[in-house]
Structure 1
Amino acid sequence: MRPESPRAWLSRVTHDPDLRRQQLLRIHGRSVAWLAPLLLLIVIAVIDYYTGERFRITSWIVLVPGIAAAICGVWTTAAFAVVSVVVYVLMNSVYPNEFHAGLPDFILVAIGGVLATLACAVRVRGEQRMLHMRDVAETTRRTVLRPLPPDWAGLEHAAVYLSADTEARVGGDFYDIQPGPYGARVLVGDVQGKGLGAVETAAALLGTFREAAYHEPDLVTVAARLEIRMLRHRGHTTALGRDDADRFATAVLLGFSDDRPGKVEVVNFGHEPPLAVGRDGVRPLPPGDRLPLGMNDLVATDGPSPPVTVPLASETTLLITTDGVTEARDGHGEYYSLADQVARAVAADPDVADPRRLVGHVRDGVLRHSGGRLGDDTTIFAVRRLQGAALGGRLPS
């Protein structure tokens, strides 16, 4: 069976009343949320009947539509409100007149049902609004972090993005692979700060990367375009009166080309150096001497430094992570030791160097180490060259 996409799921939830109301109260795909108020109604009726006229709890029936309002839909809640009034009248008719519940109790049950129905309508509308906002967040995430086809541009890759805010779904981390006539280029980075400003900055950098990485023959020119874009974007947001004057981004820019099959070009903008993970072990790549994007205007330089060319053995995977991994702490305040953990895993099983397995291993290790409490958005990205595959090409992307 084909897996359902997040957008399809959200659309189905929005239009399916049962799924919208209570995802947890389901058995074999069918909603059983109505069972709770129904059982309460039966229990109240039975207790009232068998305790006799000395202990009347008929008015407790007002709880039934209240429970339904919390877990059922509007029409189900309205039905329970009507049924509660009917059962109240029937229960009263069983006893002589002197033991009937008074008119105030009847009014309480009737008004309680109306208020419960209104409260349910407000709750359902709020759920719809929340689902719509999640849909917007998911669309934003897929726009910034566009889905990458398998083995895109002759590179085998895998990525995991974990938001520190489970409701946000999107943050300032970014990654992409861009094929072009000069090879395949990879960009992974992290925008300083959080919120929509960080997302907007990430989108601006990715837009420039996708164009420059395709058209520019030299990786150093791509790097220069990213730096200029960061300064332009920051100047624009500052002119709008927003507090983005100090925003910057760390990033790693990689260049794979057909004429250098055993090497990779690396430009590091103040980011944690990537790890080269292979069957022979784990080693960090040179850190480089560039400042983060947006900070180059703080120092006087003779020009941009050239990319660092690093030998890369076949079947070696480059692992790039953001601060969420390196700054993950356990209950004792100890940081997650990425290189050591990966080295142990590869020593025990060399196949862990596969990008998908490597990303899954790091993800599980970080979540286990931090107890699931991430202090920052986390991106884990792994990429390696496919043996015998052509890189880049003049593709319409």
Structure 2
Amino acid sequence: MTQIGLYIHIPFCIQKCLYCDFVSITNLSIVKSYINALLQEIQLKSSPDFQINSIYFGGGTPSVLSANHIIHICQWIYKLWNIVQQPEVSIEVNPGTISHDKIHAWQISGINRINIGVQSFHDHHLKLLGRIHTVKQALHAIDCLKDAGFNNIGFDLMYGLPGQTLHEWRTDLETAIVLNPKHMSCYSLTFESGTQFYEMMRHKRIVPLSEKIVRQMMHILMDIMAENRYDHYEISNFASQKIYRSRHNQKYWNHQPYIGLGVAAHSFINNKRFWNCSHVSDYIYKLHHNNDPTEHSEILTREQQLIEWIFLGLRQKEGILIDKFEQHFSCSFHELFSSVLDELKAIGYIHVSPLTCCLTDAGRFYLNSIVQKMVDSF
């Protein structure tokens, strides 16, 4: 039986963060209607052909849901889907939305992995980002989760923020390390079209940090995480031990099957990608009338597959697994990329063995340009 991941999209937020380009809304009056539609899709998409070994509640802000909503969703999933005995069940949490009732609900619902959107341990940066929580609330949330018995707790942090200093970023990381998270995801801020941050940048109300400073911040990140023996297993992700790597996210990076439920959620099975409608009202309407909310699908071409295998492989510590690449594409990896591999090895950006092709620490700073070079060579 094929093991897959299950992604559940919860689009609701108390307030939209200024940098966020994910599908999310602040109209909480339709939460009940959305949950009813989601429960309908959970039933509609359930299949005896799959076994679920990871469930991920993302958003939006999944922790904005009430205790009863989370319990109901999880009970419905476990009733209708075939779940392995010890699945990884993750939820994204905003520190400003935590309560003891919700923490208890997460426990009895089988949630065993908490991903807290801390983003910064400096209040002025949280305010700039449009976050609803304070540093004090983040620390309190972490304490509450630990006191409740949650062990697998991870943090999200951001760097490259307008006005952020190297010292502040170093302090963020050192503060996080003291709190002993099992996992950390550290992302460089990007100014995505359509976000408030993008418009603020376009009108010169905020000024992005220079590429040089951002690169220095990435150096600091890699150094501090290495000093504290975190496993830098993906370009933005670190685990205190290998067992704390994100089982669910590794499915995305390793071309493994997953099903996405909820508005705008994406799925990937047998080289086919399909995704739901992106407007909450449309999603609710379709499921209220027992219609499939899937809006589009595509079969990945050979070129699309090659690009994804290169990009996603090089993002990871283990790199591109050459035997799996050759088996999938029925060609020689070394022959396909011979000229560009020699060039990238000579400048110290990649390491190539008979088994893998991976980035060096120096190469991690130039991932996109390295991928482009390799794509241009075939």
TM-score by length of 2: 0.23
Structure in which a larger fraction of residues adopt strand: 2
Q: For the pair shown, which has the larger CA radius of gyration, 1 or 2?
A: 1
